Amino acid sequence: MMTCHSRRLFAATVLIAGCALRADAAPGAGSVFHDTPLPLNNNPSDTPVAPSVPAAPAEYQTVPVRPRAVAVNPDRPLHVGDQVSLEIVEDKSGPAPKIVTATGEIDVPPLGRVHVAGKSCAQVEAELKRKLEADYYYTATVRLAIDSVREEAQVFGKIYVAGAVKVPGPVLLDPSEHLTVSNIILKAGGFAQFAASNNVRVTRKQKNGEKQTFSVDVLGVWRAARKAEDPEVLDGDYIYVPQKVINM
């Protein structure tokens, strides 16, 4: 049988235990969980799903296009804008990329600029071999290959240049260019020594089959910028630069 003192001690113990439980259950002052947490959604069918994007019709779908390899005829004459690889085997430096310039040339160390437009790779190889072995190499093995061609530069005509110019021969016409007589002289490497630059003769075939010859003072065109006296060339024109007459 509990005494009066025991009853009081038991009541105090129960009171203290109840206060401790209430203190643990109550959120502290610094707690961020003031509201009842949301229940977890355990039903996957109730979860919102982003709408799927319908596929485009087959005719509008993008299909990757592979670049087609274009076979280049090795006997094709070189044109302005063509990209080529030049190698001199004895240098042991590998092929070097080159681009045919607007004047139809490529840079060939140690020769400098060499006119190649209108010639095939085999012709250029033979020419470079001859020039290199004449002054620089005991034996020169030259390899020239076309890497890519300038498709828009479709040649539709030729101008023939002869006489006192540095690079006589045919000059190819580009459809995107409107060249004059002085332009053709530059494409032919410029005037050679003792050229009669004030008396450049142009021979042109007329529609009736007859030939017309006229002279152009190219030196005067350059000095005084007389563009009106610098006629445009046409396919098939023959340009001849005579030498000056030197009286001894």
pLDDT block averages, 10 residues each, the chain of length 248:
56 56 48 49 53 43 40 78 92 91 87 90 94 93 89 67 92 79 91 92 88 93 86 92 78
pLDDT at 226: 80
Rounded Cα distance between 122 and 104, Å, is 16
Q: What CATH number is attached to the domain comprising 121?
A: 3.30.1950.10
Give yes or no: residues 130 and 169 share one domain.
Answer: no
**Number of domains comprising the chain:** 2
Q: What is the pTM of this model?
A: 0.42
Rounded Cα distance between 88 and 55, Å, is 56
111 domain-assigned = yes
Give yes or no: residues 143 and 162 share one domain.
Answer: no
Give yes or no: residues 142 and 161 share one domain.
Answer: no
Q: What CATH number is attached to the domain comprising 230?
A: 3.10.560.10
Give yes or no: residues 128 and 174 share one domain.
Answer: no
pLDDT at 108: 93
Give yes or no: residues 122 and 182 share one domain.
Answer: no
From 148, 170, 189, give the residue that closes a domain: 148
pLDDT at 28: 47
pLDDT at 18: 56
5 domain-assigned = no
128 domain-assigned = yes
**Which domain range does residue 214 map to?**
157-241
DSSP letters for 107-156? EETTTEEEE-TTS-HHHHHHHHHHHHHHHT-SS--EEEEEEE--TT----
Give yes or no: residues 231 and 182 share one domain.
Answer: yes
46 domain-assigned = no
Pairing of strands 83-88, 142-148: antiparallel
171 domain-assigned = yes
